[in-house]
Amino acid sequence: MELSGWRGSLYHYMDWAFKLAYLNILWLMGILIGFGILGFFPSTVAMFSVLRKWTQGEVEELKVFTHFKNEYKKEFVRSNKYGYLWLILGLIIYVDLQFFRGIPTLWALLVSLFFFMLGAIYIVALLYAFPVFVHYKLTIKQYFRNCLLIVLSNPLFSIFMVLGFYFPYYLMIKIPGLLPFFGGSLISLVLMTISHKMFVILEKSKTSSENK
């Protein structure tokens, strides 16, 4: 018998809380299996892949553990290459920014402002990195290019992505007990949901343009 009213709403939210907690535990286990440095990126890709299926409506029929495990193994090498390229790029921007900030000249100030803006774009593009990775089948170079193009061409969605990261993150900081159960999955769900809506709009716009 299907519940209705407040009981139905409560059951719905509790069911989603359980699903997200279970997925978060799988994510943490995937990180541990890869000894952290090799497990973080494939585990994160596997988590986003599950969330993509959920945002597409495949909630009840999806075998979460099997899908997570298969994606983890399949994307282990590629996701690590992709993730560490993002990490290296971020370190380069950070080091350059700190270097030019330490030089007390006008030209150095202008260069540091450039790297500050580049860093802001990088951070927002990073929020799209995993949703784009699990949604499209591209080369590594194309993933980076698409993330950058999405940030620059869709400022409204980029603002939503920043807010979508900030509010769950703020909640985790205020209630640290939630971290083991929702620390990764809740933030990722919000980012994947926003990204999926944007992907649908972009694909409809592309189809409309091709039909003209």
Q: What is the pLDDT of residue 42?
A: 98
Residue type, 26: L
Helix axes 76-101, 140-153, angle to 10 degrees: 50
Cα-Cα-Cα-Cα torsion 33, 37, 38, 39, nearest 10 degrees, comes to 40
How far, in Å, are 35, 41, 132, 191, 202 from residue 125 at the CA level? 26, 16, 10, 12, 17
Look at residue 6 in the predicted model and tell me its pLDDT.
Answer: 60
CB 182 within 8 A of CB 20: yes
DSSP 191: H
Sequence-distant (6+) residues with CB within 8 A of 210 are none
DSSP structure string for 100-121: HHTS-SHHHHHHHHHHHHHHHH
Q: Residue ranges of the chain with pLDDT lower than 50?
A: 1
The Cα 148–Cα 145 span in angstroms is 5
pLDDT at 1: 44
Each residue's pLDDT tens digit, 145-166: 999 999 999 999 999 999 999 9
Tokens, residue 189: 């769900």
- The predicted pLDDT at position 10 comes to 78
